[in-house]
Amino acid sequence: MTTFLSVVASELFLRLWFPLYASPYQPDDVVLVRLVPGARKVFTRFAINGGQRIISQINSQGFRGEELRPADHLRRVIVYGDSNVQAEFSELGDTFPKQLEKRLEPRLGVPVEVVNAGVVGYGPDQVSMRLPGELAWLKPALVVVVVFADNDFGDLIRNRIYSLNARGDLELNRYQLAPEMRARLQRASHPRGLARLQLARYAYRLWQLIRVRRIGQSSSGEEGSLSHYIDDSLARSQSDFRDYMVDTGVHIAADPFEDPYDADIAVHPDWPSSRYKAALMEKVLLRLRDTVAVRSVPLVLVILPAAIDACDHYELQVNSREYPQYDRTRLSALVEQIAARNGILHLNLWDAFHANGVCYYFHGGDDHWNDAGQAKAAQLLSDLIVRGGLLAEPRPP
C-alpha cells in the first residue's frame, strides 16, 4: 500500500508540476507530419542559451498559438516554414510570426492576425501540399514562406514528394512515410496504456539519455563531432541523393525530422546532387508562386541563412582551405536568384544577419535563430510589407 500510494503521489506530482506531454507530431498521408490539435510541447533551452523551460500550445486548428479569430474585418497573414517558424524554443510572444503581428497592427492601424503554420522539419514541398486547401479555408491576405538556406534543399530529397522528369518538369511521386516511422509517430502522439503515465514517459526519457551517453562514450569521439560536421553532412547528402535517384515505385520518406546542412551545394556546387537539388527547389518555389497566384494572394519568400554561414565565429565553421569552393553566401544567394528570375517577392536576411558581427542564432548545437533574430526578421519584413502596400486593402472573408 505504501509503494502504491508513493507511485500515485509521484504520478500526480509530475502531472501537476513537471508534465511530459505526448508528442505533438502525428503522421499524415499528404504532408508526412502534422501537428496534433490541442497538443502541448515542453522545450528546455541549453544552459548556454539561458536554460529556460518553454511550453508551447497547439490550437484546435493545428497551429501554434491562440485560437484563430473570425476572419471578418482583419487582415490575415500565414507564415509557413520549419522549426524556425514553429519556434518551440521561444515563448509565443518572441516567435517570428507573433513579432510580425505586433509590428504590423500599429503601423497599419487595423487588426492583423499572423498564423504560425510552421512545423518542425518542414520543407517547401510540404508547404506546397498544404497551401491549396489552407488558402481556401483561411482566406489570407498574404502568404509568407520562410526558406531555411541550411537544409531546405535537402528536405526536397529526403521527403520524396516530388521529382524532376526527363524534361526537367516537376512531378508528384507516389510517396509515403516509412511504416516504422509512421508507427513510432502514432504511438508517441496518441499513447495508450502505460505510455500515458508520466512515470513511464520519464523512464523512457531517462533511457534515451543513458543510451545517447553510452553511444557517445563508445565512439572514438571523432565521428559526428563538430570538426567532422561538414564531412558527415557531405556523406549524408550523397547517401540521400543516391537512394532518391534509385527509388522506384513508392518513394519512402525515412525520417522527416533529419535536417543535415546542405554541404554539397555549399562546397561542391558542380556535383550532380547540388545541381539537381537547385533545379528541384526552383520548380517547387514556382509551384508555390502559381498556387497563390490563382487566388491573387501576394507571396513573400523570407530567406533565412544558415548559422554556419552567417556567423563569423560560430561553433561550426567550414575550412575554406580544405574546401576552396565554399562560398558562405551561396545557399542564401541561390534561393534569392531563383526568386528574382521568377518574379517572386523575397527578403534575403543574409546582409542583416551578417552585419556588425552579431550572431542571431542559438549556440551549443542549436542552430535556430534566437529571439533577437526573429525580432530582426519581423522588423525587416514588416517594413517590406508596409512599404509595398501588401496589406493595404483587406481581402474579403
For 73-93, what is each residue's pLDDT tens digit? 899 999 999 999 999 999 999
Q: Is residue 395 part of a domain?
A: no
Q: Is residue 393 part of a domain?
A: no
Q: Is residue 15 part of a domain?
A: no
Q: What is the mean pLDDT of residues 141-153?
A: 98
Number of domains into which the chain is organized: 1
Any idea of the CA torsion for 368, 370, 372, 378, to the nearest 10 degrees?
50
Let me know: does 256 contact 158? Beta carbons within 8 Å.
yes
Q: Is residue 11 part of a domain?
A: no
Let me know: does 245 contact 239? Beta carbons within 8 Å.
no
Q: Is residue 6 part of a domain?
A: no
Residue 38 backbone class (left: φ over 0; alpha: ψ -120 to 50; beta: rest): left
Alpha carbons 45 and 90: distance in angstroms, whole number: 9
Q: What is the mean pLDDT of residues 7-19?
A: 67
Q: Which domain, by its residues, includes 61?
A: 20-387
Q: Is residue 12 part of a domain?
A: no
Q: Which of 304, 369, 362, 368 is CA-nearest to residue 331?
A: 304
Q: What is the pLDDT of residue 199?
A: 66
Q: What is the pLDDT of residue 204?
A: 66
The pTM for the full model equals 0.90
User: First CA to last CA across the chain, in angstroms?
Assistant: 60
Let me know: does 191 contact 155? Beta carbons within 8 Å.
no
pLDDT of 310 above 80 = yes
Alpha carbons 328 and 311: distance in angstroms, whole number: 10
Q: Is residue 396 part of a domain?
A: no
- Banded pLDDT at 9 (limits 50, 70, 90): confident
Q: For residue 40, how many other CB atoms are within 10 A of its CB?
A: 13
Q: What is the mean pLDDT of residues 256-285?
A: 96
pLDDT of 395 above 60 = no
Cell of 244: 532518391
Find the CATH number of the domain harbouring 377: 3.40.50.1110
- Banded pLDDT at 397 (limits 50, 70, 90): very low
Q: Is residue 7 part of a domain?
A: no
Alpha carbons 297 and 139: distance in angstroms, whole number: 9
